[in-house]
Structure 1
Amino acid sequence: MRLTAGGPEERRETIRKKKMFRHIFHLMAVCMAAVVLLLSTLTYSMVKKAVAGQNIETAMGDFREIREAVGEAGKLANSLATQLLLDDVCSGMLFAGGDGKMNAAETARVVNQVALYGNMNDSAESIYLYNREQDMFITSQTQAFCRGSSDFFDQGIVEIINDYDRYRDRDFIRRRILVPYSNGYEKEEEVYTYILDGMKGSRLQVAVIVNLSMDSLYNSILQTQGMQDSYMLVTDETGETVMELCSISDIGAEALEEPVRLMAESGKQYMDYTWQGEKYFVSCLFSEREGWNYVKATKWSTVFGILSEIRKAVAVLAGIILLAALSASLISSFSIYRVYTAAEREYRRLTGHKKKERDALRESFLYDFINRRKQFAWEELDGELTRYGLGTERRYTLAVLKIDRYQELTKRFGEDGIYDIKYGFRNVFEEVSRRWFEAEGIIFRDNTILFLIGTQKQDIHGELASVFESFCEKVKIFLEWDFHMMGIGEYVSGKQLPRLKDKLWPEVHNLYFYPPNILTDYEVVKGKYTKPLDYARLDQKQLLEALHGGNREEIREAYHKFLRVLSGCDAIDYKNALTWLGFSVARIRGSGGAYLLRLADCDTAEGADRILEEMFGEILRRKAAAMEQGGIRGRMEEVKSYIKEEFRDPNLSLALLGSEFGVSPAYLGKHFKQNFGKSVAEYINEVRLEAVTEQLLKTQRPARDIAVDCGFSGANYFYTSFKKKMGMTPQAYRDKNMK
């Protein structure tokens, strides 16, 4: 029973349009998301720059206010100290000589006068008068009079006076003092100390000391919005701290050393910096006029809170776009699903099979038909071809995909998993080819997949080459592998497909001679590799003699002569000849199992050449090393190293070592025992047993299998050697040491 042409064609067109709509909508969604992302990035950058500038401008305002306030305080302190110095009562105390002791009445007058000046200035925390000759302090505080520096309550000012050269160039000295009160309590306060000095030579003789409080300035600046969640450090031209303002306790001056250094090196005025898991916005400015610097750190979230809002808005907008795209995709997919299910129902009504069952039956039919595993009568064949869409109105060609290094693929994924890999290869090729033609793959049990290609064109060689190139690139996304493909430039009806396959298949194995991942034409390969191999002419003696001689040019010439005999022969004969040569070369080397396995698995002539050249190179390197050592006596360590490398070879023996190193076995054995105190056989057993004990503790494999892998050829000999060396059986050793 045949399906009508109108229904399926209309459904295919409907599905095509719906898929096209979905693709267009997805493209629009992606474009919108890209525009939103670009605009949000630009907005984010502009807003961040503006907010950073505003924060720096606010900090500069606070900086100017501090400079002005400190300047005004300096003027006030200087004016107050000058008045005290010129005051008749105070000057009498300040300039009294060491012999002129002040009586109680005079001292009381000075105390009252200093207290009067102190009360007249709210910003003056305290005032001291100091006379070195009298060794006397008079203050405006409760403890008004003190004779003797050692008893003065403010020992900080005593240290400054005694080391005055260090402080004399400063306008203010920022320090902390303990202030005594009449009730007996003391309070630590920060003050800015101004000293009006009277010098005699380099020694301070008299001083008027004014301690100013900056609490009002602190409070006014800390209450500004710019100091919210912030820390500011102001330093003078000497690097001394002028003022330290802090509305958070999580950061201090030590945290700002690194960002200040980075900004100085890069020439930036601000940067983002993370300290103890918290992100901060750090700015740094320098005043050339005063020589002052300020560094300010503010919590990033406080400064750039608006950026968080922008991020949220972008996330919401992107979510809306994504939701719209997802909704449209779901609606389109549901609509396509409805069309598919309607087609499935109609197909099942007309044929009695589900579509998946029909695809499986189609693949099974094609496999049997193309491989001529089943004979069909003409009428039956016409019906089957029409049933599976291979009618006479279309033309077909074949292309075979050959998987390189197939043995390696099966070792990696196993016999059971290899079908899934080939199934994936087939799907990728079919998906890539849809742009140019319809391809349907038939998976064979060997390393090939046959593709049936239906087309209305007379020649698709260029399109097939592009599809194969694209396939090789896409496969490498999930599996790095190489492939060979051969197409035939003949287009036939469905009935003639078995003839085309029979024509193509004998040449598939000759892809061995061509580089992978490039499309090869059947017409190029056909008849090129048909010469029978003349084994009588295949002489490897010259090559082996050249290897013994160690001359690289002679080796290359002899190898090329060997290959010329193989020119034009079938790939199977060519590979067999190279394998035979590999065995002969391995005997010269002494071992070479790894090379021989690689040679057997190699699927290209070029790769086989590389493997053999590696073997030649290793033989030459070994011979060169032997010549450098100059005699077997100096090569004992090399013999030990060789045993450690090749101990897994069951044929490793004193005789083989003698052949490898070019000396008699008896001579080598004698010098080996003289050097190491044990025979070659004992050392080989020792190395093998060490490897066995290591594997016993690392794996749960049977001891017998481990012994074979480590070079022991007989189980009885292994168990005897192990018990003699370890004093117990392998299983007892494993049980004892794995607890």
Structure 2
Amino acid sequence: MLKEKWKTHIRERHEKQKKNQKFQRIFLGISAGIIGIVLAGMSVLYAVMRELIIDQNIQMSTQTFAQVQKEFDNTDDTANEIATQVMLDDVCSELIGTLTEEWPDSIQMDRIRNQLTMYQTANPTVKSIYIYSSVPDLILTSGSRFGASSIENFPDYGIGKYMTRTSEYVGGGLIPRAVSGVYQSDPRKEVKVYTKILFSSHGRSAVAVNLDYEAIADSICSMDILNESRMLIFNEKGDRLIDISTTTIEASDELRRAVEEIAGKGAENREITVSGGEKYFISYLHSEESGWDYIKITKWEEVFQTLTVLTECTLLIIAVIVTLMAAVMGKSAVSLVRMQKKSGPGIHQAEINRLKEGFLSDFLHSRKLFTKRQLMEQMEKFDFTLEEEKNYTVLILQIEEKEKFKELYGEKGTYDIEFGYWNIFEEIFRKDFKISGVINKDYTLSFILETTGAEQVQERLKKCFETFLKEQKRFIPWHFFCIGTEQSVNLEDIPELNEKLEKALRESFFYPEDTYCTMELIWQEHSGRADYQKLEAGRLIKAVRCGEGMKAVYDSLTEELACCRSSEYMNAIIWLGITLMRNLGTVVPDEKGVSQFLVNLTLCEKRGQTDECFEQLFGQIRKNQEKSGEKKGMAGRLDEVKKYIVENFRDPNISLERLADEFGGSPNYMGRLFKKDTGISVSEYINEIRLREVMKELRETNRPAKEVAEQCGFISSNYFYTYFRKKTGMTPQTYRETWKESKEKEEAV
């Protein structure tokens, strides 16, 4: 009996062990299957994520390179405006238009240098300005580092081939170069600059504006996409425009060969591992429009950081599964099922939104990036409502006072606030239109609206914009300018329409903030060019000296420019401001105030801001006039009359009558006041200043006395010789010889 029971127990135990072994095999099979599924799923997800990251990186690189090129275009425009203003300047044109082989005198050269320095200080990105004339082979610079020099002996060795041979300056863009030889303490020191050269119409003269390389590079380095990266940009001639790095990337032979191979084949991206085990991701783009090549080298872990995290998660999941396999079989199965349900992470919605935004930005600003088939595939992929057979229009919303906005909220905060404006704008306009939008890098938001079958589109757009202005004040009160168009186009023509709007947006200088306008209206009202010679700046100068009617004269001048493009208008206004500063003498603010006025003028973004800038200047001038007693009559203006004589004594036509007309008074009354104040007549005062200058020239130069006298304002040589003998007791030649002899004796002693 016991034996039978024992056999039964052994048999049941054996069967139980077989069941356990079977369960273990099944569990092990399931576990291995789960691990295989996890590995396969992660591999697929890894590949998908990798392609998405590469695609995103290329799109972001495209946006960054477009931003960089726009930065260069804006910098080029700024340099061109400065060079144009120098070329048109009254003082500088004395050298540009000269036909004589002799150099100007030291006073004239100092005046030109001062003018160049004023233009330099008005723009903080300008390091120096050169002006060159092949006749009489003279180059002058802003500041006081160099004296007058021929182009061959100029310390900046490399500039000569560009300013003397236009063939070396093909394209007219910015020249990246290293300025060497300009530091006497360290001749080997080099400073990187971008140089813009503008040649005169006759080709004998040129103006070179040298811009700060570091300032431009710093603005590019602040872009988030350049983290742990090095970016190189080459223009169509192969010049390296930019080579900046936000991390240490050693230039090895493997890396150099990879970059050359990618640029030669035109490939878009490449992974490469160099000696030392460092891995890099290289992006390459070529712009057909500008002919530029863009290369960005990024550390692999910076680009594919998500993949590294995904790999670590995969290893962690497998480790957990293996650990659970050693635990209780029943609980392991349940845990594995739960793990399986939790595994397989997907793309976060915020990342999908960023990819959608990147695609829409590429579509609007880089229409050559997509074929028609690729465009429709991307539309379907990102679930856009844009359809091929519909009609659309474009709106661009611009945030006003961009520099102030960036200063308040910074790079990171700016995007979040722009995103809030974007949501408010879409929410309001979606009631009347199907709308899709994107945030641009230049503080603008672009929106695509479906207009198929819509009526009274412009009235509805204006009404929606007014509603937006009311609603956004609850968010963060700010000012905007919105520009649209009366055109409706199909899907493929949207980028071209957007490009037209961007060009028109740059001409929106004349319109006040919180305004909706169309590009058709801008093109209709502002299409002319400013003619500086027709602007009677003398009327404003005379009004300022008299202290009356300044605003009225200024308004009449700006009305003459109202039909010009914004760039032409701004050039003319800056020219007017510089002319005013140069001719007003004692009534203008101090030197610091002059510099700040010109800086503020160049930073203006709207016509109302330039008007406010001049109104503040007029107010300061009134205060200065009241303090100096100029409101009390001609007696309070004698210091200004004296300064005017000192600045213009070389003019042979200067006289008491002209001074009275210039300062608004009677010649007889002015003459009496002047003699009472100085003890001599106006004409005697003018001649004494001329005589002092003649005597200085006789001491410092070997030029003929007659020539010196004519340059200093003496019309009649007979009168000059008589006056000189009367005042000095000797002839000009005797004076020169006597002074030389005394100087030689002093040197001998």
TM-score per shorter chain, which class?
0.3 to 0.5
What's the TM-score once normalised by structure 1's chain length? Answer: 0.41
What's the TM-score once normalised by structure 2's chain length? Answer: 0.40
Q: If you compute each CA radius of gyration, which structure gives the higher value, 1 or 2?
A: 1
